[in-house]
A = this chain, B = another copy of it.
């Protein structure tokens, strides 16, 4: 006679199941989506604002923000962008359960692009899939060129890496080669865009790349319908 011993599944499995559901719902609605992760003050909000301003004439954009206060969303709301605040209550990351709970606050059929702003943290958010198409990680020049070496999980999980505040590169004496070497070791071939939200330097390359991704999703959805 054999005894079945139940195996406790990885605690992250529940999150992954919900992330899969989010992905299906977004895909069915034809919504391209990405999750923005960075240190506090790395430039998540600035990047999102500039990206939205650049693309809002072409695509219907919505933004979800994991934060304890809605100060980041006010400017977007004024621009007429549908926004949703996930009050994390001081939590250190977003998880799929929080995102799936917030999805009904947005009309997905009225969106082409959903941007999710994660909590400012280079550690915890890396462990929780949100079911989006892309994980966008933003590093910034004043943080120093050693960040990939010190936060490898976050950099390894990036689908796109933006290096923000490039206008400070010379002043900081930022060692771009050292930074890039860390990236190449951890995440070879990752899409990489050095840019500055302040000056706009390098922003076009990121937008062109992103635009092509959104259009590919949009075309696939129309073929499928």
Interface residues of A, Cβ cutoff 8 Å to B: 39-42, 67-69, 71, 90-92, 119-124, 140, 142-144, 146-147, 149-153, 165, 168, 171
Q: Is the CB of B150 within 8 A of A69?
A: yes
Partner of A121, one of B123, B153, B165: B123
On whether the beta carbons of A143 and B40 are closer than 8 Å, the reply is yes
Copies of this chain, tallied across the complex: 2
The answer to whether A41 and B123 touch across the interface, beta carbons within 8 angstroms, is: no
- Whose C-beta in chain B lies nearest to the C-beta of A151? B40
Which listed residue, B91, B92, B123, touches A90 by the CB 8 Å rule? B123
> Which B residues lie within 8 Å of A121 (CB)?
92, 121-124
How many whole Å from A168's CB to the nearest CB in chain B? 7
Known A124-B123, A165-B142: A147·B92 in contact at CB below 8 Å: no
Q: Which residues of B contact A152 (CB under 8 A)?
A: 68, 90
Cα A168 to Cα B141 in complex, Å, equals: 13
Report chain B residues within 8 Å CB of A150: 40, 67-69, 71, 120
Q: Is the CB of A168 within 8 A of B151?
A: no
- Which of B122, B149, B171 is A120 in contact with, Cβ under 8 Å? B122
Chain B residues with CB below 8 A from A149, complex form: 69, 71
Cβ-closest chain B residue relative to A142: B142
